[in-house]
Amino acid sequence: MPDYVPHLKLTHEGALKMLAAGIAKAQAMGQPQCITIVDDGGHLLAFVRMDGARVLSIDSSRKKAMSAASGRTPTGQMAAANELKLALATDGKVTNLLGGVPVIVDGHTIGAVGVGSGTGEQDLEVAQAAIAALEGARAF
């Protein structure tokens, strides 16, 4: 077994491209959003709180992004019975609220986007628009 493997990485330019696409989608919807882009380890690459977006959504958008990156799956798909257990086990760092989507390229999770301030469906729609801006990224 090799001592290392090649690794795809979401660049800051890719994160900014995603951020711009998410902002454009939120503006088209008329719903200001908090949008967080993280790398595969859940570390912040880009963030915006649009004018009019809820202040409390700053944290929820980041937790959604971190949850999608670490779980390598969109948030909102976990069984409801496990939500409280997961929140308690991670000291509230992981969430199952809609709006967190991993960025997957060639089968590898290279980051995630988390969106908050609208309804869960609006958040998810903005997250999907952000991912669609990256060439080769898989959409959910």
For the stretch 97-133, pLDDT in tens is 999 999 999 999 999 999 999 999 999 999 999 999 9
Say if pTM beats, i.e. exceeds, 0.85. yes
What tens digit of pLDDT does each residue of 18-47 get? 999 999 999 999 999 999 999 999 999 999
**Strands laid side by side in the 100-105 sheet:** 44-49, 34-39, 108-116, 100-105, 137-138
